[in-house]
A and B are shown apart, each in its own frame.
Chain A
Amino acid sequence: MISRYLNGDLSRTEQEKLVNWIKDSPKNQRLFFELKDVWDASHEGSNEKVNEQLLKFYRKQATQKRTKSISSWKSVIAVAAILVFGLVIGSVMQIQFGQDNSQLESFYVPKGSRSEVTLADGTKVNLNSNSYLKFDTHFSKNNRIVHLEGEAYFEVKSDKNHPFTVQTNNFDIVVTGTKFNVSNYDDDQLIGATLAEGKIELFTDDHQQFEIKPGEKISLDRKTNHYELNEADVKSETAWINSEFIFKEIPFPDLIKRLERWYDVQISYSSNEFNEMVYSGSFKNQETIWQVLDALKLTTPIDYEKISFRKFKLNYKPM
């Protein structure tokens, strides 16, 4: 009757009988549950199922995370900590444009390096990979306007009478003396500014005006053309200055773009599976791109191959 209960059809009267038999004595009960336990335990498990479930788990975590607020970032996928790549100081390429009167001076930091510039007014600018900082040759203590493409961290020399302006293609930032980070790579969907100290004002193309307080971040979604003011983790936003790479809940495509700029490589991927994933993690200091990709491999269902010099391809590969 027990084996019929476990693997067959038990009629109602038989069921009744079984229940009574089990209830009859603790000994019966023990025997029955031990046998059922053996039955329950002797089931074939497949690795395929585990892999499938693990992937499902990661997907679920990724999509859930996207909807959570910034403050709930405790579930870090601490990716890895590796060695120093070497900050390429002095790799700033100074380009002089034109011979006419309105001369423009431009600093360009190539992919794979970062640099620091001190302007004539004493303002310090850290420039991230693949960024341009341009300003008029007339830039001076009294005329403080720069144009930025890419990412930079400004420590603006305080001067209340002469505001410092950072122009970008989408907005202007006006400050007197503050520390803030601006990111506006033209291939990023989300661009914006994060304030560490002081106060900044932001004037948009379409005549909106925002005031940003320390610890806040304003971002523009270029797809929807919508601005949003949020609490920010200044430390992780500006970690790149110290050659650290901290990222919080950023979409996979953005992560790839950052890696490309950071390491001066090209990374291609085709699968749509990647797009729904959101990443958090930190690379303490400049691992090689190989190490970063290996770390990614551990946390996500990917595999990579090197196609040619500085070119990688990611493939979707369920774990």
Chain B
Amino acid sequence: MSDFDHIFRKYHNLLYLYANKFVRNESISLDIVQDVFASIWEKGKLELHDEHLKAYLFNAVKNSCFNYLKHERVVQDHQQRNIERIMQLEQKYYKSGEQSLIEKENLDKIYKAINALSVINREVIELSRFEGLKNKEIAKKLKLPVRTVETRLFRALSELKEKLSKNNLRILLNICVLIKS
């Protein structure tokens, strides 16, 4: 069914990023996404309107992740306590109805925003996110102090955040204008 392929291709990467955001483990994230796709395959949810389907997919992934973390938590050692606390806070944050950019935006927009960053900020984002280098490794490569890399990364993320949320605002404004006219 080409419909299914289409949906799979459209959402797979987003759902994977979304899952990985919570479980921080590539293979588990991929498994969760596979299972969620299996559920729409079996339940015949394919006929849902695209918006509903999207909402269903993200919700299902989120729930699976939280479920997974609930079971996983027991096994974690004390070393991880602080990180775990942050994760719990994060879950609470998203349970309260906050939406992730991954859910709101499409990847193209995010990449576009990255491309629009200043060169020095873009560099650290690309090295860390696309090439998977740690801050220390980036510092070595760019011959900069780690501190500088950290600052640049922070600035890059802040800038991206501004850009992406501004975009949303503009869309909202456009809708208001449309309604008025």
Could you tell me if B1 and A40 are in contact, using CB atoms closer than 8 angstroms?
no
- The answer to whether residues A7 and B161 also contact, given A15-B83, A57-B37 and a CB cut-off of 8 A, is no
Cβ distance A24 to chain B, nearest Cβ, rounded Å: 12
Report the bound CA distance from A75 to B101 in whole Å: 33
Could you tell me if B101 and A38 are in contact, using CB atoms closer than 8 angstroms?
yes
Could you tell me if A42 and B160 are in contact, using CB atoms closer than 8 angstroms?
yes
Q: Classify the secondary structure of B's interface with A.
A: helix
Q: Classify the secondary structure of A's interface with B.
A: helix
B68 at the A/B interface (Cβ < 8 Å)? no
- The answer to whether residues A41 and B12 also contact, given A8-B135, A74-B44 and a CB cut-off of 8 A, is no
Could you tell me if A40 and B102 are in contact, using CB atoms closer than 8 angstroms?
yes
Which residues of B65-118 have CB atoms within 8 Å of chain A's CB atoms? 79, 82-83, 85-86, 89-90, 93, 98, 100-102, 105, 107, 110, 114
* B-binding segment of A46-54, A135-143, A285-293, A308-316: A46-54
Cβ distance A11 to chain B, nearest Cβ, rounded Å: 10
**Chain A interface bracket (under 10, 10 to 19, 20 to 34, 35 or more):** 35 or more
* B-binding segment of A28-36, A107-115, A212-220: A28-36
Question: Please, which residue of chain A has its CB at the minimum distance from the CB of B30?
Answer: A53
Size of the chain B interface, CB-CB below 8 angstroms: 56
Question: Please, which residue of chain B has its CB at the minimum distance from the CB of A319?
Answer: B5
Report the bound CA distance from A266 to B153 in whole Å: 60
B2 at the A/B interface (Cβ < 8 Å)? yes
Question: Please, which residue of chain A has its CB at the minimum distance from the CB of B163?
Answer: A38
Could you tell me if B102 and A38 are in contact, using CB atoms closer than 8 angstroms?
no
Could you tell me if A43 and B44 are in contact, using CB atoms closer than 8 angstroms?
no
Question: Please, which residue of chain B has its CB at the minimum distance from the CB of A22?
Answer: B89
Could you tell me if A75 and B42 are in contact, using CB atoms closer than 8 angstroms?
yes
Which A residues contact B (CB, under 8 angstroms)?
A: 2-9, 12, 15-16, 18-19, 22-23, 29, 33-45, 49-50, 53-54, 56-57, 60-61, 74-75, 77-78, 298-299, 319
10 contacts between A and B (CB under 8 A): A2-B154, A19-B85, A35-B157, A40-B20, A43-B129, A45-B13, A50-B13, A53-B33, A54-B8, A74-B44
The 4 closest A-B pairs by CB, nearest first: A45-B13, A15-B82, A40-B21, A3-B153
